[in-house]
Amino acid sequence: MRIGLIGAGRIGTLHAEVLNRLETVEEIVVADTDTDRAIALSSKLNASHVEDPAELFSTVDAIVIASSTETHAPYLIDTAAAGLPTFCEKPISKDLGSMDSAATAVNASGIMVQMGFMRRFDVGYRTAHELIAQGALGDVMLVQAQTHDFEPPPAEYIAVSGGIFPDMLIHEFDILRFVTGQEVLEVTATGSTHGLPVFGEFEDISTAVVTAKLDGGTLAVITGVRTDPHGYDVRMEVFGTADSVAIGLDPHTPIRTLDAGLDLPRDPVTVGWLERFGAAYTAEMEAFVNTVANNGPSPCTVDDACAAQVVAEACRRSRETNRPVLIEEFS
C-alpha cells in the first residue's frame, strides 16, 4: 500500500512513524507547503516526497491529512474527487459552512474517511463504551470529563486555533458521544482567562466549563484548562445506577493528593499528550490501514466529526450569549 501524507509537522511526523512500522505500507510519500520539512521527514523515514500535494492524488492508494486546520476541508474535497480513502485530523474546519461542504463531498463520493479522534482507540474509553452498550453500568446518570493541558500554547497558535471549544474540547465532545452512545441536545458554556490573560487578547478563554444534556437522559460536565502545573491530565468518570467507572486514573496521573497515606503521583508523571495517548495514536493509524486494506467501514466518520464540531459551536454561542443553546439551532 502506498500512502500519501500531507503535512510534515508534529502530528504528521507521528503518523508517519507509525505508518513506517506497518508491514502493509510499502511506501510513504510526503508533501508539505514547507518543502524543506517534507524533505527532512522523508529522509528520516527513507520515504519519498513531492512538492505539491496535488501530485499525490493520482499516485497513492490512500491519503493522511495532517496539515493545518484551514486546509482540512479543501483536501477532503480533493480526496473525495479522487476517490481515495482518507484519514483526516480533527477538526474538519474552523467554520460550519466549509465543514458542511467537505462532509457533503465525502458522503456523495462514498469514500471511507476516518477522522483523527484518537481517544476512541484508548483502552479505557473503549472499555467504557462497551460496558455502557452492554448495560453493565445501568442507567448512566452523569459523566464528568476533563482535559488539562500541561503548558499553554504560544500566542501565534492561540491566534489561529479557533478557540478552546473546537481546538481542545472537541475531543471531549466526540468521546462523550462515543462512550455514552447518546447525542448532545443542549449545552451551557462559560469560561475565563483568569491566570492566563493572553487568551483574552485573541477573544479566547483559557478555562472552560460546559454542562450538557444528552438524548438518553444523561447529564455531562466537561472542563478544560490550558495549563496544569503537574502535567497533561485527561480523565473521565461515568456514574450509572449499577456501577461507576473512571478512565485515565492511574498512579502516574498528574494530580497531587492531600489525603493521608497516599503518595501520588508517582514518577514518571504524565507530562504530555503523547505519554497519555501514544498507544491510542498507534492504534488509530493501524485501524486506518487495516480498514483501507479490507475495504471496511470507518470507525470515526465525517458525520461523527460534524456532530462534535456542532457541539463546539453551540458552546461558543452559549458563552457569547450567556444562555443555554440547543443543538437543533444549527440544523
- As beta bridge partners, residue 184 has 214
- As beta bridge partners, residue 244 has 239
Write the DSSP assignment of 123-183 as a string of letters: HHHHHHHHHHHHTTT-SEEEEEEEEE-SSPPPHHHHHHS--HHHHTTHHHHHHHHHHH---
| Structural domains in the chain, sorted by start | 2-111 (3.40.50.720), 122-273+308-330 (3.30.360.10)
pLDDT of the chain, 331 residues: tens digit per residue: 999 999 999 999 999 999 999 999 999 999 999 999 999 999 999 999 998 999 999 999 999 999 999 999 999 999 999 999 999 999 999 999 999 999 999 999 999 999 999 999 999 999 999 999 999 999 999 999 999 999 999 999 999 999 999 999 999 999 999 999 999 999 999 999 999 999 999 999 999 999 999 999 999 999 999 999 999 999 999 999 999 999 999 999 999 999 998 888 999 999 999 999 999 999 999 999 999 999 999 999 999 999 999 999 999 999 999 999 999 999 8
pLDDT at 331: 82
CA atoms of 87 and 84, how far apart (whole Å): 10
pLDDT at 250: 92
Grid cell for residue 260:
493521608
Phi first, then psi: give them for residue 87, nearest 5 degrees: -105, 135
* Strand order across the beta sheet in which 48-50 lies: 48-50, 27-31, 2-6, 62-65, 86-89, 113-116
DSSP state of 47: -
CA atoms of 216 and 242, how far apart (whole Å): 16
Say if CB 205 and CB 223 are below 8 A apart.
no
Say if CB 224 and CB 164 are below 8 A apart.
yes
pTM: 0.96
pLDDT at 24: 96
Question: Computed over its alpha carbons, how large is the radius of gyration of the chain?
Answer: 20
Stated as kind and residue range, the H or E segment containing 293 is helix 273-294
Write the DSSP assignment of 221-257 as a string of letters: EEEEES--TT--EEEEEEEESS-EEEES-STT-S---
CA atoms of 156 and 159, how far apart (whole Å): 5
CA atoms of 139 and 160, how far apart (whole Å): 40
